[in-house]
Structure 1
Amino acid sequence: MSSFEDGPRQANRWTDAHAGSPVLVVEDERELAEEIRLELQASGHQVQLSETVDDGLRAARSGAAVLVIDRMLHGEDGLSIIETLRGEGNATPALVISALSSVDERINGLKAGGDDYLVKPFDIRELTARVEALLRRGGDARQTRLQVGALEMDLVERTVQRDGKLIDLLPREFALLEYFMRRPDRIVTRAMLLEDVWNFKFMAQTNVVDVQVGNLRRKLDPSGGRRFIVNIRAVGFKLNADT
């Protein structure tokens, strides 16, 4: 059964038609689903609720700006929704939520096509922040391929090629490069990367951005040059469009 049938829970329709970006929440724990709905609506989003894999897949195909999908739905794995959508060329950003907290499970969620993974229990405000980070990726979220110069990214197959040759990237490196490729020739600050790629909501004293950018550079250009990602002194980084 999709959504809720009692009180304000309207089946298979957006619960706040005048609000902003539509978010589909596929969660069979009704109390949690309702809490998520109320928080997202308070932030100005339209929200649709579904409880099963089948209903969630149908709702996702009908259109949403972001998906929030629980791993376990009445004994079925919610990742099957994302895998099916990606196989159909649908690249709608998806946040996976789950009580499965191991590194392997999080990697499975990302490999299935998920864009982010949030472990239960979580602060509902963090979920909203992550949803909004996915929304900030821009209007090209449904693209299945990105190309900037010699770099080509397949968002369905989760592959990257440089000059036609495959590059093996870890999930975080893939997300980092995707962020750059959606903003070619635009300056990207460390604060932007911490917030949108790492989901940090405060200025942490960390060199994680520089370390990961360095790792990504070495994979994009093993020669040691900086053909693709360049430093912008005292500001951040930029992906060159003419490479």
Structure 2
Amino acid sequence: MSHHLLVVEDEQRIADFLLRGLREEGYTVDHVADGRTASAMLRSRPWDLILLDWWLPGEDGIQVLRRFREEDRATPVLFLTARDSIHDRVTGLDAGADDYLCKPFSFEELLARVRALLRRPAKMEEAALTFQDIRIDLATQKVTRAGHPIDLTAKEFSLLVYLMRNAGKIVSRTRIYESVWDENYDGLSNTLEVHIKEIRRKLEAWGPRLIQTRRGRGYLLDAAATDEAEGGES
């Protein structure tokens, strides 16, 4: 089976060069040219390898990579950039890149790095998320609490997965909107609050509150915390 690669590159000449060469080598390759589209594509399906440029319209590659690593810790990422200082390399690697290739580069070297990253033993895929008595089967997208099935909409499911992957940490409204809705929080929309209220209603039919409000800061998934009602939220 062909490996499925995503190329995130805004320079069309370089993108065409990569797409043509990688496809000739037998890889299945998709391409996007800006950071926001890249973030959506990264969540759209499993990828075998990401080739990510640093300078991108909208959001740069570092922002895209950091957000991706919050949700996916296994998929290898090869950073492509003209920034070649030691500091830049460290920044890219610390953000979650598995390898770093400076432009201009030879296609032979790129292929060697691609092959090396694809040869790495696959990490155990995360099969399920659990917190207290809540369990999410990521393959089937089934959610249960204390053994009882919980029927969530697609967006409620994504939101609960995000909260469970960040259990014990306060996550801001801005970060949730960027990660779950792929849009900026305008400070006026109550979309998030409506979804939180509905998830709480469904989960609390079978146990105590676990999704806590932190006034002015966001939300926290924590069994021991005390909720801080905000703006009429319940």
TM-score normalised according to structure 1 size: 0.49
Indicate which of 67, 74, 94 corresponds to 2:77.
94
Instruction: Identify unmatched segments of 5+ residues in structure 1.
Output: 1-18, 144-243
Whichever of the two has the greater Rg, that structure is: 2
1:145-184 to structure 2, matched below 5 A, reads none
71-80 or 107-116, which deviates more:
71-80
Indicate which of 22, 27, 47 corresponds to 1:45.
27
Q: Which residue of 2 aligns with 1:195?
A: none
Q: Which residue of 2 aligns with 1:133?
A: 116
Indicate which of 76, 97, 109 corresponds to 2:59.
76
Q: 2:2 is paired with a residue of what secondary structure?
A: coil
Call closer, same or farther: CA 1:141–1:122 in 2, change over 3 Å. Answer: farther
1:34 and 2:20 aligned:
no
Give how far 1:82 is off: 1.4
Tell me, in whole angstroms, the C-alpha distance in 2 between the residues paired with 1:113 and 1:90: 8
Call closer, same or farther: CA 1:64–1:141 in 2, change over 3 Å. Answer: farther
Give the aligned residue type for 2:23. Answer: Q
Indicate which of 95, 112, 116 corresponds to 1:112.
95
- RMSD, aligned CA: 1.9
Give how far 1:64 is off: 0.8
Tell me, in whole angstroms, the C-alpha distance in 2 between the residues paired with 1:37 and 1:102: 27
Give how far 1:140 is off: 2.1
Q: Which residue of 1 aligns with 2:144?
A: none
Tell me, in whole angstroms, the C-alpha distance in 1 between the residues paired with 2:120 and 2:42: 18
Instruction: Identify unmatched segments of 5+ residues in structure 2.
Output: 127-234
The answer on whether the counterparts of 1:92 and 1:142 sit within 8 Å (CA) in structure 2 is no
1:169-208 to structure 2, matched below 5 A, reads none
1:56-67 to structure 2, matched below 5 A, reads 56-61=38-43, 62-67=45-50
The sequence identity of aligned pairs, in percent, is: 38
Q: Could you list the per-position Cα deviations for residues 139-172 of structure 1 after superposition, in whole angstroms to 9, with x for gaps in the alignment?
A: 32756xxxxxxxxxxxxxxxxxxxxxxxxxxxxx
The answer on whether the counterparts of 1:39 and 1:125 sit within 8 Å (CA) in structure 2 is no
